[in-house]
Amino acid sequence: MLTKQLAEEIVAETMLRLNRNINIIDVDGTIMASGDAGRVGEYHEAAATAIKREQTVAMQFSDLPRWRGAQAGVNMPIRYGRQVIGAIGITGDPEEVEPFGQLVHMTAELLIRQHYSRLQDEWRQMAGDLIVEELLKESDSIDFESVDARLEAIRHPLKPPYQMAVVRFTDSARQRTEESVPIKVRRLLEGSRVLISPYRPQRLLLLFSETAEDRVMAKLKKLKQLLLTETESFCVGVGSSARLRTDIRRSYEEGEAALSCAGSSDEPIVYFDEVEGQALVRFIPVERRQRLAGKLRPHWNAKMEETLESFFACSLNAAEAASRLGIHRNTLLYRLEKVKETTGYDPARFRDAMILQMMVWSNG
């Protein structure tokens, strides 16, 4: 369980605090890392004995002739859980090094626990990433057996309702030198029924399960507060709730569509259900949208778009739209009439208004 890299890290870390040579020895008694590079690879009989007996072995100067590869000092077994995985040796007169030997020993075991905790976190994250990746495939391609096996391995129940959120963020300059945003998000949502998967640079997928929509909303509000302080900018697209695992992909696609509408909203968290009409435009094939744009583009301008945007936002109420734009109602009616003349679509007529609204959304 002890790797050479970890052994070298322990030696470097402990020698920073101690003006003594430190050795890390594997279970076979071979020195893996040492402040004295010339000793690496040597057999250390006293350390091997400490490992075998699972107890400290102190070496006096008078003992050296009886022990192969030994120097005066103290050798203590290193444990991970209940298993002895090696030994740590401190070179020097045992009477001098024993007082701080236990502290060095505890430091080494703490570093090992931190290392394996980090490895376990990375393994859990990788398993979570693979689960999310699998569930976003087409329903007839999903390997549910592998999904369930990985869920069991990381002890994460995945029960309905399911809901996907897509987070896009830009790191702050301060954040680039500190703990990453994904790590802080994981800590914030720790204990929640959510799988968090970084799937592109500065993007996160959140798969909520066994969580009602109002609870998801509450968790996303907490996330908003975190991201306001930890990023330069961010937005979140949230899909609708799903009851079947095969519908998780649909919730994800809705989240992506909602995210694409984020630029037209002052609120950084955009729910698909609230922008469904606008979001659905994104599902229309690009060539179809380009055909519509090609028909209208020659007549389109910024003033026309601003006028229509306000008119539609006010539910086709001319008085409200004029007030919103800060113009006279008659001026607004004149502009709407010009739209009808130049494009052939009447903004006051529902069927035509729908086409014009799609054009406004496509430009957003």
CATH code where residue 66 lies: 3.30.450.40
Ramachandran sector of residue 54 (left: φ over 0; alpha: ψ -120 to 50; beta: rest)? left
Domain presence at residue 216: yes
What average pLDDT does range 136-151 have in this prediction? 93
pTM of the prediction? 0.71
**Separation of alpha carbons 289 and 285, rounded Å:** 7
pLDDT reported for residue 324: 92
Q: Are residues 190 and 252 in the same domain?
A: yes
CATH number at residue 341: 1.10.10.2840
Q: In this model, does residue 17 exceed pLDDT 80? A: no
pLDDT reported for residue 322: 92
Tell me what percent of the residues of the chain surpass a pLDDT of 70: 96
The residue among 216, 207, 214 whose CA lies nearest residue 151 is 207
The least confident of 169-178, 201-210, 302-311 is 169-178
pLDDT reported for residue 171: 80
The residue among 143, 135, 184 whose CA lies nearest residue 163 is 135
Domain presence at residue 127: no
pLDDT reported for residue 264: 60
Q: In this model, does residue 288 exceed pLDDT 90? A: no
- Residue 255 and residue 164 in contact, taking contact as beta carbons nearer than 8 Å: yes
- How many independent structural domains does the chain possess? 3
Q: In this model, does residue 61 exceed pLDDT 90? A: no
Q: Are residues 274 and 303 in the same domain?
A: no
| 323, HSE (Cβ side, Cα atoms, 13 Å) | 7
pLDDT reported for residue 69: 67
Tell me what percent of the residues of the chain surpass a pLDDT of 90: 48
pLDDT reported for residue 334: 92
pLDDT reported for residue 359: 86
Q: Which domain holds residue 167?
A: 158-281
Domain presence at residue 137: no
- Residue 70 and residue 94 in contact, taking contact as beta carbons nearer than 8 Å: no
**Separation of alpha carbons 119 and 144, rounded Å:** 26
Q: Are residues 270 and 301 in the same domain?
A: no
What average pLDDT does range 196-203 have in this prediction? 88
Residue finishing a domain among 218, 249, 281: 281
What average pLDDT does range 1-20 have in this prediction? 85
